[in-house]
């Protein structure tokens, strides 16, 4: 028996969604994303590797890359790496200290900015070191999909009542969060514009509902304070 909901969004894109309560109280949910690349499978690992998840990944092909969405989403990196030891484990600079039990094959912020990890022909990345959790945004070119952890939330339903409103990209609360989450607004402005330059339509958040279309407009709304 598993709580994981597995769904295919595009021919090469699968998501793995599970219930999750932040601080054991706030029901924000969690999500991993897997993408079939020419060289193998790329996984943003934010949920546990249960049997249904592993079965789907194995059907997709050979897992070549295991990536972290940010510093906070690190709980399940170890079990993914143990199951797929041949895969490259890519994190960020703070994770090198936070997870000394893991051997990373690359880390945003620690490696030179022009470092290539092997998936760049199909997936681009933008590192936001000035954010509280050192976020990384990823862009899958073929499916026009933006994948990220805590840069953008799309929380609705029972969760929204805890915040007196929807916590989505068009909400005032999210706009305030986007500003608060940055310790360097000039840096965030440049990174936000880098993401806008990508040709995406869909956004897959780790928390909340997938934005199936008009994702770029949602991104611009959430980060409008950095676009003026």
Q: What is the pLDDT of residues 26-43, one digit of tens each?
A: 546 789 999 999 999 999
Here the CATH number for the domain that contains residue 203 is 3.60.15.10
d(CA 30, CA 205): 9
pLDDT tens, position by position, 193-205: 999 999 999 999 9
CA-angle at 28, arms to 22 and 31, nearest 5°: 105
Q: Is 223 exposed, middle or buried (0-12, 13-18, 19+ CB in 10 A)?
A: buried
Q: Is 28 exposed, middle or buried (0-12, 13-18, 19+ CB in 10 A)?
A: buried
Mention every residue, 6+ apart, whose C-beta is less than 8 A from residue 145. 9, 10, 13, 139, 200, 201, 202, 203, 204, 215
Instruction: State the total domains in the chain.
Output: 1
> Residue 134 sits in which domain range?
5-111+118-226
pTM: 0.93
Structure tokens at 164: 């007196």
pLDDT at 156: 73
pLDDT tens, position by position, 133-171: 999 999 999 999 999 999 999 987 544 444 445 679 999
pLDDT tens, position by position, 52-105: 999 999 999 999 999 999 999 999 999 999 999 999 999 999 999 999 999 999
For helices 185-196 and 215-222, give the axis angle rounded to 10 degrees: 170
| DSSP-H helix ranges across the chain | 51-60, 77-83, 93-98, 172-180, 185-196, 215-222
């Amino acid at each position: 028996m598993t709580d994981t909901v597995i769904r295919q969004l595009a021919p090469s894109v699968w998501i793995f969604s599970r219930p999750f309560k932040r601080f054991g109280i706030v029901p924000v949910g969690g999500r991993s994303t897997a993408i079939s690349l020419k060289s193998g499978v790329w996984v943003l690992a934010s949920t546990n590797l249960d049997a249904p998840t592993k079965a789907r990944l194995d059907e997709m092909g050979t897992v070549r890359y295991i990536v972290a969405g940010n510093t906070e989403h690190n709980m399940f990196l170890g079990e993914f790496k143990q199951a797929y030891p041949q895969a490259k484990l890519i994190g960020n600079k703070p994770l090198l200290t936070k997870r000394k039990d893991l051997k990373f094959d690359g880390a945003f912020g620690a490696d030179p900015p022009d470092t290539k990890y092997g998936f760049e022909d199909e997936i681009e990345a933008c590192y936001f070191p000035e954010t509280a959790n050192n976020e990384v945004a990823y862009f899958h070119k073929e499916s026009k999909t933006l994948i990220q952890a805590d840069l953008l939330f799309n929380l609705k339903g029972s969760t929204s009542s805890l915040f007196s409103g929807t916590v989505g990209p068009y909400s005032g609360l999210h706009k305030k969060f986007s500003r608060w989450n940055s310790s360097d607004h000039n840096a965030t402005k440049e990174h936000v514009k880098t993401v806008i330059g990508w040709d995406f339509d869909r956004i897959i958040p780790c928390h909340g509902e997938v934005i199936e279309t008009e994702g770029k407009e949602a991104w611009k709304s959430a980060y409008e304070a950095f676009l003026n």
